[in-house]
Chain A
Amino acid sequence: MAWRNLLFIPLVLLAGCSTISSHRSIDNDVQIEKPVGEITENQLLDVWIELFDPGELQVDENDSKGLSVDIREAEARYLPLLLRDTMEKTGYWGAVRVVPRGTEGGEVLVQGVILESDGERLELKITALDASGREWFSSTYEAEVSLQAYQDAEPGGHEVFQALFNAIANDLAVYRATLEPDDILTVRRIAELRFAGDLAPDVFSNYLQRSDKGQFTIVRLPATDDPMVRRVSAIRERDFLLIDTLNGRFDNFYQTMQEPYVQWRKTRLEELESLRAIEREARNRKLIGAAAIIGAIAIEVLGGDSSRAATGTLRDVMVIGGAYAIKTGFDKDSETTIHRDAIEELGESFSADTKPLVVDVEGETHKLTGSAEVQYAKWRALLKQIYAAETGLPGTIN
């Protein structure tokens, strides 16, 4: 079994130990880590990434300029797909799927909250846990990009915050590398038993034990030829199929949103840079003016009579010049309104574009999961009746 661990050598070296920092400030050159060889199928864990929690907007009106809840809702559906695609490329994982929040049954579950996202800064809180209820880590990841990053990125190509998603994927792989093969197997089994327990509690509720802290341990395993296991597995396959179908919807959403989203972030950042430049200039002018006036007063007060007389004109120039500089500083301030309005309008326009997309994908998700719920209820009833027939337990016949 030792050879398997060789696959994870780069990660173990990278991590040093399994502790993952609770706050990560990400450089833009973080590359994705990949195993040195192929991981065997029975050692792969499937990952479910929940749609992110959109979080809350900044209270400060200036900081949240042009941002909106609608945009956040769209990002909460867009960003998990970036993480999914990143993780899929690593080769460390089995199927990586994005699922609606609160979906049960994954082997590894990744949850995210958007703490900040304005095109320039992205801060996410990521929590990862496995089917046994063990929390792998909970960290915040923040990254900042410049306007240049957007200008360098090809349209529809490289994501400017890719390094942040690489860092998350790397951390997940680092934790994964600390698990023994038996741990992997246990997680996979628990995931299956939890799904089975949800579907046929009469049959499978005694196979797992749940601690007060919500951690699951296997009490016993069903026989390999148990027909109920076969039936539940068949349903689970459909569950995966359902989630794959949902991911098709999410992909369509992602592709529709990608270009306007990138464009919005880029243009917003351009406006923001212009705004900051003007604000800096206005502030500098006011500072220069203030300094000139302070200097003039100092010369007047501290100088002797002769120097006061000699510098009279200079002091006048300094005071007048200082006052003028401050006035032009104020004038410059008024130019910022144009950029503030532009940022606001950009946000409103992008909001208006994305809202129908979100409503659409949300509606389709509800429709699909809703009809699946009805179907699952039927399956539950059928499994219950089959179990009753097979075991002859009359009390369980519906």
Chain B
Amino acid sequence: MRMFKPAIMLLTLLLVCPAWGGQDGQLLERLRVDHGALKAAERDLLRHQQQGNLGVTETREYAAYVDRLRQRVVRDCVALAAAEVVVPANIDCPQQTPPIAGPVAIDQQSEQTDDERAAVLDAELNAELGEFDQRLLREQERVKAAKPPAAGGGSQGGAGSATEGAEGAEGAEGAEGAEGGRSGDLAGSGEPGVTGEPRENGDLAAPPTTSGAAGGPGQQTTIKDQPNDVPDGSDDDIVARQFREAAERATDPETKKKLWEEYRNYKQGTL
């Protein structure tokens, strides 16, 4: 709409200055201005039509504006001719007869048959489709222009160092793995004693808090009594659980006490 602005302002100026007419000189000046505006608008419209960058509605509105300008020029020419003023040679007065009393409000739709109206609308639809195609075509060209260059190689970055780190860590883990097996033996070595003596130590000091069944025939009774000052173990990690379970399984009070002590130390991070 930027291109319409000067012309619209000019037209508005002309419309709000009714006292302009009257004097021949003023009439001639108005013709010059109107004629100049008409020629500029005609050229502009033609250029936009050739470039195809105006929509159907915009083209129609612009053409109507040009038509109004032309009628105004014709009116000026008629007025000057009536006043017997010679129109300068560089102004070509159009041969169109101006309307006598402004535009007549004719309902063109009611003058058309249904078929004609449908045909007009159909044509409008086709024009809109064509315009949409143009827009999409332009968009596709923009998409093509924005296409990133084909992805190439060469994105090595600093991944190498991270890989090396991982490999190093795995190597260390392998070495510890062997010891892990041995630690299992160690852990297991304590168990026969723990599980093998429940009956001998049935007189444990603290009343046992039994979990599970109340000791069926041959069933191991798990005693989970724990000192009041140790936490419930809900946030134990795997190592703390080892201490806790060993302490819970222990039937000997002294062993139990020491294991709980280790558990506390571990939980407090003092080991």
Contacts and interface: CB of A to CB of B under 8 A. Distances in A.
B180 interface: yes
Interface stretch (B67-75, B89-97, B152-160): B152-160
A323 B252 CA distance: 23
Interface extent on A, as a size class? Answer: 35 or more
Interface string B129-155: 100110110011001101110111111
A235 B133 CA distance: 10
A99 to B, nearest CB: 16
A12 interface: no
Given A301-B254, A389-B121, A390-B118, A286 B239 contact: yes
A291 B187 contact: yes
Given A267-B157, A288-B176, A326-B271, A297 B183 contact: no
28 contacts: A156-B152, A231-B122, A238-B129, A238-B133, A242-B136, A245-B140, A245-B143, A255-B147, A255-B148, A267-B157, A267-B158, A267-B159, A270-B159, A270-B162, A270-B163, A278-B169, A280-B173, A284-B179, A286-B239, A290-B239, A290-B243, A291-B183, A297-B255, A298-B193, A301-B254, A342-B162, A386-B118, A386-B125
- Is chain A's interface secondary structure helix, strand, loop, or mixed overall? helix
A274 B193 CA distance: 40
B262 interface: yes
A375 B146 CA distance: 25
A291 B184 CA distance: 8
Contacts of A280: 173
A330 B266 contact: no
B239 A297 contact: no
Given A259-B151, A386-B125, A297 B258 contact: yes
A274 B169 contact: yes
Given A274-B165, A382-B128, A294 B187 contact: yes
Nearest to A284: B176
B242 interface: yes
Interface string A362-398: 0000001001000100110011011001101000000
A84 interface: no
A381 to B, nearest CB: 10
Nearest to B145: A252
A288 B254 CA distance: 22
Nearest to B149: A255
Nearest to B258: A297
Contact of B166 (A255, A270, A327, A368): A270
A300 B250 CA distance: 14
Q: Is the interface of B mostly helix, strand, loop or mixed?
A: helix
Nearest to B158: A267
Q: Which 5 pairs, one residue from A and one from B, show the smallest C-beta to C-beta distance?
A: A277-B169, A248-B143, A389-B118, A156-B151, A298-B190
A368 B189 contact: no
B99 interface: no
A330 B237 CA distance: 12
Contacts of A379: 125, 128
Interface in B199-254: 237-239, 242-243, 246, 252, 254
Contacts of A291: 183-184, 186-187, 242
A270 to B, nearest CB: 4
Contact of A292 (B170, B172, B186): B186
B117 interface: yes
Interface in A263-282: 263, 266-267, 270-271, 273-274, 277-278, 280-281
A377 to B, nearest CB: 11
B114 interface: yes
Given A156-B153, A245-B140, A386-B122, A326 B193 contact: no
B21 interface: no
A59 interface: no
B160 to A, nearest CB: 9
Given A274-B169, A289-B271, A383 B262 contact: no
A285 interface: yes
A249 B143 contact: yes
Contacts of B29: none
A271 B136 contact: no
A245 B183 contact: no
Given A263-B157, A297-B258, A382 B169 contact: no
B139 A368 contact: yes
A288 B180 contact: yes
A341 to B, nearest CB: 13
Given A263-B157, A290-B262, A302-B190, 5 more contacts: A235-B129, A245-B143, A259-B155, A297-B262, A375-B132
B137 to A, nearest CB: 9
Contacts of A298: 189-190, 193, 255
A294 B248 CA distance: 12
Contacts of A290: 239, 242-243, 262, 266
Contact of B271 (A252, A259, A323, A382): A323
Contacts of B170: 277
B124 interface: yes
A368 B135 CA distance: 10
Contacts of B36: none
A36 interface: no
A288 B121 contact: no
B177 interface: yes
B18 interface: no
